[in-house]
Structure 1
Amino acid sequence: MTDEETEATEGSLLLDDQLCFALYAAQRAVTSVYRPLLDELGLTYPQYLVLLVLWERGETTVKELAAALRLDYGTVSPLLKRLESAGLVRRERAAHDERSVLVACTEPGEKLRERAAGVPDALLAATGLAATEVARLREELWRLAEKSQPAPNRPH
């Protein structure tokens, strides 16, 4: 972006100049590309994200799963309930700590991983972006997410 373009968007109330709107539009567009791919797997996008974490980490606690997804327990719990009803995950109390609930993929959940393996490449093909462009964009988005976090409370 040139200095002139930067100056033109600073303080602008034009819809297309809003970072939040660009992110919103991009998120909706990407999610719409995912939808038919995930429909074939019988998953919603949030359910797919839960399975990605479990495929990567194996058995984990609900608390760790929620943290990895940057979601609260109240949002993750219904997702897990639906995945459990579908036979893709199992939940059980941890033997060492009754307050902790462990989540793991079942055999059908693990088998679904093989079918899901083509989803990332299909997304790349659908967007027309090169892998390097996606990597750069993802890096920038993580940087934005990090910088957008509220500063930790500091003693005054």
Structure 2
Amino acid sequence: MGFTHPDSDLSLTHLDASGQVRMVDVSHKNRSAREAIAASTVRLSADAFALLTAQANAKGEVLNTARIAGIQAAKRCAELIPLCHTLALDFVGIDFELDSQQHLVHIQATCRCSYTTGVEMEAMTAASVAALTIYDMCKAADKGIVIENTRLLRKSGGKSGVWQATER
């Protein structure tokens, strides 16, 4: 199937038995409903956070722009990540939670489709690009913005079923 480590049952499915890069063949898999939820956090200075929440950012309404960018990124994931399959997404949602005490924007991206492979990369790409868009739109007020903790929170569907992240 993929490249398997000699001391483990784990394998890298994007490598063949000889270690060469390959796209995973999903033609034999059954279609199933699949969902992935990913997150990213943007840490801003107090001043940049105040501008963002007051919607006084010089480049326009930040969160709606980040939402659209995240959705667009999920739809174009296969153009960005070389071995991703092109998916017909049924849903992409980007939600934001603001933490005014710590000046954080928590981003959650949800992707759904019915296909033969999962949507984890689409959700991760959506969360990442939404975070990068917030950085781009707020960098005039704070070049030290930090994007952190980008990760998969949950995935469901397919042969492997449900996977849920544990706190780290």
TM superposition score normalised by structure 2: 0.28
Q: Which structure: greater helix fraction?
A: 1
Question: Which of structures 1 and 2 has the larger relative contact order (alpha carbons within 8 angstroms, sep 6+)?
Answer: 2
TM-score (norm 1): 0.29
